[in-house]
Amino acid sequence: MPSIRAICLSLTVVLCLTSLAVAEAPIAEAPVAEAPVEVDREKGEFTVIVLPDTQRYALYFPDIFHAQTRWIKENVDKLNTKFVVHVGDVVDERTDQEWFVADRAFAELDDAVPYLVVPGNHDLEKDANGQLIRNTTKYNAVFSPHRFKDKPWYGGHQGVTNNSSFAYFEAAGQQFMVLGLDYGPSDETLDWAKTLISNHGDNHQVILVTHAYMYDDDTRLGPGDRWSPKNTDPSWNDGEDIWEKLVAGRDNVCMVLSGHVKGDGTGLLVSPNDDGAPVIQMLANYQFLEHGGQGWLRILHFKPSAGVLSVHTYSPWLKKSREEPDQRFDLDIDHLF
């Protein structure tokens, strides 16, 4: 397990290995699009932004990646954005150049809004035989605990890496903890998460973020499903495992966000936990579309006074919204406030 010092040194190596041409390549600064939703602060409304898999942007279309984070930054006040989550697969082929692109894109958010990133399968390294392994040296070179240590909203991490971490925000009088778990989290990680969630049970609602959880047929990733972490290692936990071992038994987990799965790239499930409270579970992934996803991201618009969560799909790059039933919908959140 690399030390924090080794991780920080790795970041230096990553940046030094990146070609001068890439380092000096200008980012296209197109006019920032207007936000597609109106947020009423007086009614306590706020947003959380979800960045689905950005892997193809990091590899082929860095301008789209940068357009997303720049748009988020420029609209933080208008949308009353409290938090941003990335659901994993930051990069595609694990090259130093891709990690440089990701670092530069997220630099837009460093002093603008709290955020949390989780590693996906493409953010893990491979062994000499091409087998995926839990080596996140490059991921932690960019998103190590050191990057977040001075942020008042950053809560901490498991072990010495930032593979699984947590952070906080407050909105409409409710305290939230955002808990990120690595790809196919181990039983040890789930035990760590159980303790963490239980320690916040009295006053925090928990939004769980992990790369592989929902499937595109509106069910959780389970036995036999394509794109399951278990196809890499049977001991790695999939969506059904995470539900049974962690989510169902915790009465303060209100939402689970994930990416990873292709198909049509969307999934939605609302399930009662062991206490009967609804848990919203959503999949969003657009990497298979033209230009690596066309810049689509999710805007979760919380309306506490109405007890409604309005989910919008918007592309700052195209400056368009999607209105299909699986891209624009409302959910009941009256139980949260």
**What is the predicted pLDDT for the residue at 63?**
97
pTM for this one?
0.91
CATH code of 164's domain = 3.60.21.10
Q: What is the DSSP string of 151-210?
A: -TTEEEESTTSSSSEEEEEEETTEEEEEEEE-SS--HHHHHHHHHHHHHTTTTEEEEEEE
Query: How many structural domains are present in the chain?
Result: 1
Residue 92: other Cβ atoms inside 10 A: 20
Predicted confidence at residue 33, as pLDDT, reads 65
Residue that is written with structure tokens 């919380």 in the block: 302
**Nearest one of 180, 155, 146, 163 to 6, comparing CA atoms:** 146
Phi, psi of 166 (to 5 degrees): -150, 160
227 within a domain of the structure (yes/no): yes
pLDDT of the residue at 21: 39
Write out pLDDT tens, residues 245-264.
999 999 999 999 999 999 99
- DSSP-derived letter for residue 17 is H
Is residue 35 one of the residues assigned to a domain?
A: no
Range of the domain at 53: 4-28+40-336
Interstrand relation of 81-86 and 46-51 (parallel, antiparallel or unpaired): parallel
Query: Is 33 a member of any domain?
Result: no
pLDDT at residue number 201: 87
User: Among 250, 248, 266, 249, which Cα is nearest to 258's?
Assistant: 266
CB neighbours (10 Å) of residue 187? 12
Note the pLDDT of residue 6: 52
Q: Cα separation of 179 and 124, whole Å?
A: 19
- Helix boundaries (H) for the chain: 4-17, 20-24, 55-59, 62-74, 76-79, 96-106, 137-143, 145-148, 187-199, 239-242
Helix (H) or strand (E) holding 46: strand 46-51
Contacts of 130 (CB under 8 A, 6+ apart): none
Q: For 264-277, what is each residue's pLDDT tens digit? A: 999 999 999 999 99
In a domain, 34, yes or no: no
Report residue 21 as tokens: 């041409």
CA 226 to chain centre: 21
pLDDT by residue for the chain (337 residues), tens only, comes to 555 445 444 544 444 444 333 444 555 555 566 788 999 999 999 999 999 999 999 999 999 999 999 999 999 999 999 999 999 999 999 999 999 999 999 999 999 999 999 999 999 999 999 999 999 999 999 999 999 999 999 999 999 999 999 999 999 999 999 999 999 999 999 999 999 999 998 899 999 999 999 999 999 999 889 999 999 999 999 999 999 999 999 999 999 999 999 999 999 999 999 999 999 999 999 999 999 999 999 999 999 999 999 999 999 999 999 999 999 999 999 999 9
Structure tokens at 199: 């320690």
38: which residues sit within 8 A by CB, 6+ positions away?
A: none
Q: What is the reported pLDDT for 30?
A: 54
Identity of the residue numbered 95: T
Side-chain-side CA neighbours of 260 within 13 Å: the count stands at 30
Residue count (the chain):
337
